[in-house]
A = this chain, B = another copy of it.
């Protein structure tokens, strides 16, 4: 039940990573690891704001022929936010600098999600 090593590994492996968290769809972060540079962006507030639309996306997609949502990525001016579902109730979220390695971030979340799921 310790997610921190997974989160630290993701942040250390992805260039430009600012913070990584296991969050519930209720907006409560189970565990978070962030680098000092992340503090000024107030990512926790950002993630909670992103949650309602992401839940809506998830619910909308489940009614559609396109199937259930596995990943949502939002690029904004100062941060890239990558989210990957771990279970119906929990997801991994990774914040990157705009110049961070987007592809590597997606890959790290994809391979880590089953490991986190196994410990939920």
Contact = CB atoms under 8 A, between A and B. Distances in A.
Interface residues of A, number: 36
A72 interface: yes
Give the oligomeric copy count: 2
Contact of A56 (B41, B56, B77, B78): B56
30 contacts: A40-B65, A41-B65, A42-B64, A42-B65, A50-B57, A50-B60, A50-B61, A52-B60, A53-B53, A53-B57, A54-B57, A56-B56, A57-B74, A61-B74, A61-B76, A66-B76, A66-B77, A66-B79, A67-B76, A67-B79, A68-B77, A69-B76, A70-B75, A70-B76, A70-B77, A71-B73, A71-B74, A71-B75, A72-B74, A72-B75
